[in-house]
């Protein structure tokens, strides 16, 4: 249960959106079609006997039909030019000097102060910056056929249909504030936005909102991490649809082959210089296609009781990663404010940041990612398994019939009969990379690099006192890679040749030939308590992976190996935890932790902090509005601790390029 998510969503509470419908016959449905066969005889057309032909329909997969408005790049570019991002930033950061606000502007999915930002790598990178230019936006809309009627305020097309789009985001005051400015900006260009501000449990739920691509324009934040955004967000084969069990986080439905290939290649090389160049390509295509409108980099702070010691606030790690080391003089209970309630603690499926925040208290973590780096926590010897220390081996091996191979484009397939074929039966390019990064033809006998990594862990126990054992790791891998478990992404699973649990505290992974993931040393799979008895008498090991998401023992009161144990979850109110006496580092000094839900917004949470009835208000709750300003000012007075951080987390609006 220590596996990291591909990428986390930051929200407070979210939005229900519309349901788009299109008709299609179910797969395999026979369609009876009358075919009239005609032939010409001496210039006379004679109709032969009508024949009834039964055809098996192959319907168009859901969410692949181009959106009637947003599939036009001119409309997307117009929206970008019509968005007054300076006004958006000013609406939530009015207390910051102009020069600080300017630094928050973004034009790709990577903040400008990052070493991975395109123009920091290549000053000549072709990044399109959609400056606020409503006249240019209006001209693009005119060109796309959206005219403003005489005396009208909303544009219409040739059919008289209005240029109206659903805008969905969370009901956090922070987002409602900048959302109102966004709506007004587009209205000035003749675009009508129909805003919907709803709870995060819906917007970020495992079976609703973003995961089901149920939006037209959707706003949220990606939580910044040590590594730049990966394959799950932008590759063509990571577009969630019903026919792939909603696998992937490419919610826009964006398929740009140049960008898709580059991001796969960037995550299939151990050469950082090459990776940076490939990320330049992805950023160029991302900005050109305007499939997601970057708004601004967030200023953030985690505020807490000044008597609380040990809390580590950091731009790339959650504050609960340090919860085992917290101390609060004179108190044995810490109360943490949540701005939204987790839908579930089944972290394999849940994408919301709040689920990880709560989950770290229950499951702990095998490694941390403070200050744009990685630190081993639960790994033996306090070190990652690397090629340099012998924990991993990267050797050249010959390609053979039936091998799993990753080509130079980062695509994975099976080598058979001289071809490389993916899971869907598509033939892939037979170009690979040798261990030195040189191009080679993939064929029988050619040598490609293959990584074998052994992950070893310190002794630790489940919260019920049972030691972690071999069967637990085996179950973890089984659930993570089962296509029906609901995992956010199977990218890693699809590139694993074998997962062998060596003993109770170690497992070995052999990756596909040609696969060179830059973070190979991070443990890719977690574990589950195979021995756990369920209410129906079964053990967890006896449950099918597809049913894990329906078990209260997994979603609400899971066993973990972290510092705390869930004792009670009062939905909509609070999650009560107590110290785990079997925690591998020893029972934490804080005996009880209560996650208190403040769904009314950050104002109530901040008021409770200042009154002393809450001890921690995280950055995910504070947002960037008045409450952030309040805690920063209180920090200056010495009332609370709240140090503002320039965060890699960024607000954006995604365009859904498809309809159902």
CATH code that applies to domain 303-371+560-643: 3.40.190.10
* pTM of the full structure: 0.78
Q: What is the pLDDT of residue 10?
A: 60
Round to whole Å and give the CA distance between 247 and 239: 7
Q: How is 334-353 classified by DSSP, letter by letter?
A: EEEEESS--S-S-TTT--BH
CATH code that applies to domain 380-459+464-511: 3.90.76
Q: How is 555-593 classified by DSSP, letter by letter?
A: HTS---SSSEEEEEEETTTEEEEEE-TT-TT---S--EE
Q: Where are the domains of the chain?
A: 64-298+652-659, 303-371+560-643, 380-459+464-511
Q: Cβ of 283: how many Cβ atoms within 10 Å?
A: 28
Would you give the DSSP letter of residue 414?
A: E
**Residues of the chain below pLDDT 70:** 1-60
Q: What is the pLDDT of residue 27?
A: 32
Q: What is the largest CA-CA distance in the chain?
A: 106
Q: How is 365-391 classified by DSSP, letter by letter?
A: -SEE-GGGS-EESSBGGG----TTTTS
Helix (H) or strand (E) holding 473, with range, is helix 470-481
Superfamily grouping for domain 64-298+652-659: Dipeptide-binding Protein; Domain 3 (3.10.105.10)
Enumerate residues 6+ apart whose C-beta is below 8 A from 377: 364, 365, 366, 367, 368
Round to whole Å and give the CA distance between 588 and 585: 8
Q: Are 311 and 304 in contact (CB under 8 A)?
A: yes
């Amino acid at each position: 249960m220590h596996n990291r998510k591909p990428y986390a969503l930051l929200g407070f509470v979210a939005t229900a959106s519309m349901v788009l419908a299109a008709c299609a016959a179910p797969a395999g449905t026979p369609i009876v079609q009358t075919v009239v066969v005609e032939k010409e005889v001496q210039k006379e057309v004679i109709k032969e006997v009508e024949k009834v032909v039964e055809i098996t329909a192959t319907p168009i997969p859901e969410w692949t039909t181009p959106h009637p408005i947003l599939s036009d790049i001119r409309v997307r570019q117009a929206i970008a030019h019509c968005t007054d991002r300076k006004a958006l930033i000013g609406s939530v950061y009015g207390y910051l000097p102009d020069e600080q606000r300017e630094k928050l502007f973004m034009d790709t999915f990577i903040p400008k102060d990052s070493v991975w930002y395109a123009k920091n790598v290549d000053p000549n990178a072709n990044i399109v910056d959609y400056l606020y230019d409503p006249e240019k936006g209006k001209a693009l809309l005119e060109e796309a056929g959206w005219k403003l009627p005489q005396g009208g305020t909303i544009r219409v097309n040739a059919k008289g249909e209005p240029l109206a789009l659903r805008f969905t985001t969370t009901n956090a005051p922070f987002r409602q504030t900048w959302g109102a400015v966004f709506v007004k900006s587009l209205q000035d260009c003749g675009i009508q936005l129909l805003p919907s501000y709803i709870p995060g449990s819906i917007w970020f739920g495992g079976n609703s909102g973003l995961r089901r691509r149920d939006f037209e324009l959707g706003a949220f934040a990606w939580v910044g991490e040590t590594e730049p955004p990966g394959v799950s967000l932008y590759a063509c084969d990571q577009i969630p649809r019903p026919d792939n069990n909603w696998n992937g986080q490419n919610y826009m439905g964006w398929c740009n082959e140049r960008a898709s290939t580059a991001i796969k290649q960037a995550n299939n090389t151990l050469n950082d210089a090459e990776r940076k160049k490939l990320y330049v390509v992805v950023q160029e295509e991302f900005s050109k296609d305007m499939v997601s409108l970057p708004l601004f980099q967030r200023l953030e702070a985690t505020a807490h009781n000044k008597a609380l010691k040990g809390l580590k606030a950091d731009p790339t790690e959650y504050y609960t990663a340090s919860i085992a080391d917290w101390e609060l003089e004179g108190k044995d209970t810490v109360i943490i404010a949540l701005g939204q309630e987790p839908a579930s603690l089944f972290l394999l499926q849940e994408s919301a940041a709040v689920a990880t925040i709560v989950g770290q208290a229950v499951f702990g973590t095998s490694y941390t990612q403070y200050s744009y780096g990685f630190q081993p926590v639960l790994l033996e010897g306090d070190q990652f398994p690397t090629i340099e220390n012998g924990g991993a081996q990267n050797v050249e091996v010959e390609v053979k019939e039936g091998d799993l191979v990753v080509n130079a484009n980062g695509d994975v397939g099976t080598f058979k009969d001289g071809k490389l074929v993916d899971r869907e039966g598509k033939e892939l390019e037979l170009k690979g990379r040798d261990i030195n990064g040189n191009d080679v033809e993939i064929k029988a006998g050619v040598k490609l690099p293959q990584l074998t990594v052994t992950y070893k862990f310190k002794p630790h126990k489940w919260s019920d006192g049972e030691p972690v054992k071999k069967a637990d790791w085996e179950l973890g891998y089984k659930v993570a890679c089962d296509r029906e478990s609901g995992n956010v992404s199977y990218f890693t699973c699809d590139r694993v040749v074998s997962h062998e649990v060596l003993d109770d505290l170690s497992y070995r992974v052999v990756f596909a030939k040609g696969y060179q993931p830059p973070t190979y040393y991070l443990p890719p799979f977690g574990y589950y308590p195979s021995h756990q008895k369920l209410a129906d008498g079964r053990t967890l090991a006896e449950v099918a992976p597809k049913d894990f998401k329906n078990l209260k023992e997994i979603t609400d009161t899971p066993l973990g190996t972290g510092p705390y144990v869930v004792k009670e979850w009062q939905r909509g109110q609070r999650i009560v935890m107590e110290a785990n006496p079997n925690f591998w580092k020893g029972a934490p000094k804080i005996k009880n932790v209560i996650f208190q839900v403040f769904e009314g917004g950050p104002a109530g949470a901040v008021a409770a902090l200042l009154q002393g009835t809450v001890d921690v208000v995280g950055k995910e709750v504070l947002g960037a509005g008045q409450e952030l300003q309040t805690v920063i000012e209180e920090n200056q007075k010495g009332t609370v601790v709240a140090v503002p951080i320039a965060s890699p987390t960024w607000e954006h609006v995604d365009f859904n390029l498809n309809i159902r």
